[in-house]
């Protein structure tokens, strides 16, 4: 009778844990659904509920938890609806709360990550996410025509870019190009020509920035700063006249669309996992994993993987005064997401296998603790393993509301008032802008559906 009661108790405990351990991507499912049906304000309201705040102007009390990611998602959605003041507040708060992933980190240092869950530790963002925080925040400041704030974000971006280039050896990371373009514009319009050219020089190493050719050639007339790339650009065509002298100004368009792949919980049979990653698993661990599978209770490895991107193959349309503006794809963020994931995917699955082996050891200890009562020992062993299996929620955390791709354009226009219409995946922005002689304005749209 006692043994039956113990078995029933363990089953009920496991059921309760199943109901209470939703992964991050599962919590974000209603938010993604709201964005898909074109309801960004509804998505913000859902995030506020997840953070237990009353308004979208509030920050959660615990910014060291997963709620920092909710703040990050809310910030990018605020940007998508033109809530630039609240967007920059959210992006900057999240930036301070989220660390960057240390690719040399050994997950075995964290008992919580190995014994219980890959999502139990503090979230660490991959490099492209940290770069995109400063990049999108700089875009927000430029929309608000706040060059002081934009320069602060550009300098923060410079620190992060130096680390990514020098320490991670990812100087070819295409996210650097988009950030460099916005930083170059920031310093150009701040009158810091040499600094602007340094940023533009970096940006021109990437494709998708042909519209910078004339502005950069114009700046080269006012600066001695040169590089091989800038010299070649200077020699390729004559510099255009200064916009102020010709009674013109400039508009810079930045259009993001779709959403990057988010992580999803997946599982594979132990045997398949051991075959796929045999080279990364020690023979002793492989033997222990096979022994656990032989018990017939736990036969699956829980781990995160990437889903599909949303809407990345759309073609955004930008119309200025009734005429289409040619946009260039500046960065394929989805490609960067997949590239970064490939670097750590094997380690993630090996970590999941190691957690499974840990469950075997914990179960064996429970069985030994039961002493001579063999049935109770077996129940304790299986129940302990079942409980830890339920607790083993794959780490599906990521910045889910990043645009899948970003396109840009830069055009010269006569000074005066102009109408702009942008359409990306059915998300529209219609606005009127006033451009002064020699002046500039930035018009953006983030269509996160």
pLDDT digits 0-9 by tens, 426-449: 999 999 999 999 999 999 999 999
Mean pLDDT of 143-162: 96
Q: Are 449 and 311 in contact (CB under 8 A)?
A: yes
Q: How confident is the model at residue 392 (pLDDT cuts 50, 70, 90)?
A: low
Calculate the alpha carbon distances from 98 to 132, 162, 438 in Å: 13, 18, 39
For the cut 70, the answer to whether the pLDDT of residue 57 exceeds it is yes
Rounded average pLDDT over 407-414: 97
pLDDT at 38 over 70: yes
pLDDT at residue 368, as a whole number: 54
Report angle CA 30, 35, 40 to the nearest 5 degrees.
105
* pLDDT value at residue 44: 98
Residue 429 phi, psi dihedral angles, 5° rounding: -135, 120
State percent of the chain over pLDDT 90.
60
Res. 4: pLDDT tops 70: no
Q: Can you give the pLDDT at residue 236? A: 95
Which is higher by pLDDT, 336 or 19? 336
Residue 58 — φ and ψ, nearest 5°? -95, 150
pLDDT class for 106, splitting at 50, 70, 90?
Answer: very low
The architecture (CATH level 2) of 2-447 comes to Alpha Horseshoe (1.25)
Give the pLDDT confidence score for residue 363 in this predicted structure. 52
Smallest CA-to-CA distance from 87 within 97, 96, 79 is with 79
Average pLDDT over residues 158-178: 90
Q: In the chain, pLDDT over 70 holds for what percent of residues?
A: 80
Of the pLDDT bands very low, low, confident and very high (cuts 50, 70, 90), residue 110 is: very low
Task: Specify the pLDDT at position 167.
Answer: 86
Q: What's residue 109's pLDDT?
A: 41
Contact 318, 418 (CB under 8 A): no
DSSP class of 266: E
**Cα-to-chain-centroid distance, residue 147:** 25
94 pLDDT higher than 90: yes
Closest by Cα among 116, 236, 103, 229 to 163: 103
**Residue 293 structure tokens:** 């599978």
pLDDT of 290 reads 72
Q: What is the mean pLDDT of residues 333-350?
A: 87
Position 298 scores a pLDDT of 53
Res. 105: pLDDT tops 60: no
392 contacts 302 by C-beta, under 8 angstroms: yes
pLDDT at 360: 60
Q: What is the mean pLDDT of residues 215-225?
A: 96
Using one digit for the tens of pLDDT, what is the confidence trace for 356-366? 777 665 555 54
Strand pairing category for 317-320 and 440-447:
unpaired
The CA distance from 386 to 288, in Å, is 17
Return the domain boundaries, the chain: 2-447
For residue 115, what are the CA distances in angstroms to 124, 256, 351, 398? 19, 40, 10, 22
What pLDDT is recorded for position 403? 97
Q: Which of 298-307, 320-329, 434-443 has the lowest mean pLDDT?
A: 298-307
pLDDT of residue 198: 97
Per the CB < 8 A criterion, the answer to whether 23 and 303 are in contact is no
Residue 441 tokens read as 């304005």
102 pLDDT tier (thresholds 50, 70, 90): low
**Which pLDDT value is given to residue 292?**
65
Q: Span 80-88, mean pLDDT?
A: 97
> Quick one: how far is CA 288 from the chain centroid?
36
Going by their DSSP bridges, the two strands 124-125 and 99-100 should be labelled as parallel
Cα end-to-end distance, the chain, whole Å: 56
Please determine, for residue 20, whether its predicted confidence score (pLDDT) is greater than 60: no
CA distance 202 to 199: 5
| CA 253 to chain CA centroid, nearest Å | 22
DSSP line for 195-220: HHHHHHHHHTTSSS-GGGHHHHHHHH
- In this structure, of 188-192, 232-236, 366-370, 432-436, the range with the lowest mean pLDDT score is 366-370
pLDDT band at 128 (very low <50, low <70, confident <90, very high): very high
- Mean pLDDT over each residue of the chain, to the nearest integer: 84
User: Residue 417 above 80 pLDDT?
Assistant: yes
pLDDT of residue 362: 55
- Highest-scoring range by mean pLDDT, 160-169, 265-274, 397-406: 397-406
Q: Is the pLDDT of residue 386 over 70?
A: no
Residue-level pLDDT at 33: 97
Between CA 342 and CA 352, with CA 348 as vertex, the angle to 5 degrees is 150
């Amino acid at each position: 009778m006692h043994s039956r009661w113990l078995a029933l108790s363990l089953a009920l405990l496991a059921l309760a844990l199943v109901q209470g351990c939703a992964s991050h991507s599962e919590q974000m499912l209603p938010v993604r659904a709201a964005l898909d049906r074109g309801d960004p304000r509804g998505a913000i309201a859902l995030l506020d509920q997840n953070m237990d705040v009353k308004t979208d102007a509030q920050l959660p009390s615990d910014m060291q938890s997963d709620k920092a990611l909710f703040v990050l998602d809310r910030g990018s959605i605020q940007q998508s609806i033109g809530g630039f003041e609240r967007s920059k507040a959210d992006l900057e708060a999240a930036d301070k709360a989220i660390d960057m992933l240390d690719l040399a980190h050994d997950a075995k240092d964290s008992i919580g990550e190995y014994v219980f869950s890959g999502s139990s530790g503090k979230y660490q963002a991959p490099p492209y996410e940290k770069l995109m925080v400063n990049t999108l925040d700089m875009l927000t400041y430029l929309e608000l025509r706040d060059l002081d704030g934009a320069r602060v974000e550009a300098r923060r971006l410079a620190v992060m870019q130096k680390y990514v280039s020098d320490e991670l050896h990812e100087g070819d990371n295409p996210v650097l190009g988009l950030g460099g373009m916005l930083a170059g514009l920031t310093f150009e319009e701040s009158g810091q020509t040499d600094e602007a050219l340094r940023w533009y020089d970096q940006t021109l190493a990437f494709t998708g920035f042909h519209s910078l050719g004339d502005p950069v050639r114009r700046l080269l007339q006012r600066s001695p700063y040169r590089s091989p790339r800038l010299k070649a650009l200077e020699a390729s065509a004559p510099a255009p006249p200064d916009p102020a002298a010709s009674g013109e100004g400039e508009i810079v368009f930045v259009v993001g669309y779709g959403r990057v792949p988010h992580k999803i919980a997946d599982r594979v049979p132990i045997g398949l996992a051991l075959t796929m990653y045999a080279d990364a698993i020690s023979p002793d661990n492989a033997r222990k994993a096979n022994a656990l599978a032989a018990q017939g209770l736990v036969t699956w490895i829980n781990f995160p993987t990437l889903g599909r991107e949303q809407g990345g193959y759309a073609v955004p349309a930008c119309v200025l005064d009734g005429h289409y503006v040619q946009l260039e794809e500046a960065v394929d963020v989805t490609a960067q997401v997949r590239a970064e994931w490939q670097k750590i995917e094997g380690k993630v699955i090996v970590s999941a296998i190691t957690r499974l082996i840990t469950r075997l050891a914990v179960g064996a200890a429970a069985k030994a603790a039961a002493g001579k009562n063999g049935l109770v020992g077996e129940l304790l062993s299986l129940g302990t393993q079942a409980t830890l299996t339920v607790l083993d929620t794959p780490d599906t955390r990521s910045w889910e509301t990043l645009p899948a791709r970003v396109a840009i354009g830069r055009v010269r226009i006569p000074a005066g008032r102009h109408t702009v219409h942008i359409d990306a995946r059915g998300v529209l922005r219609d606005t009127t802008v006033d451009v002064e002689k020699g002046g500039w304005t930035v018009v953006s749209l983030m269509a996160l559906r």
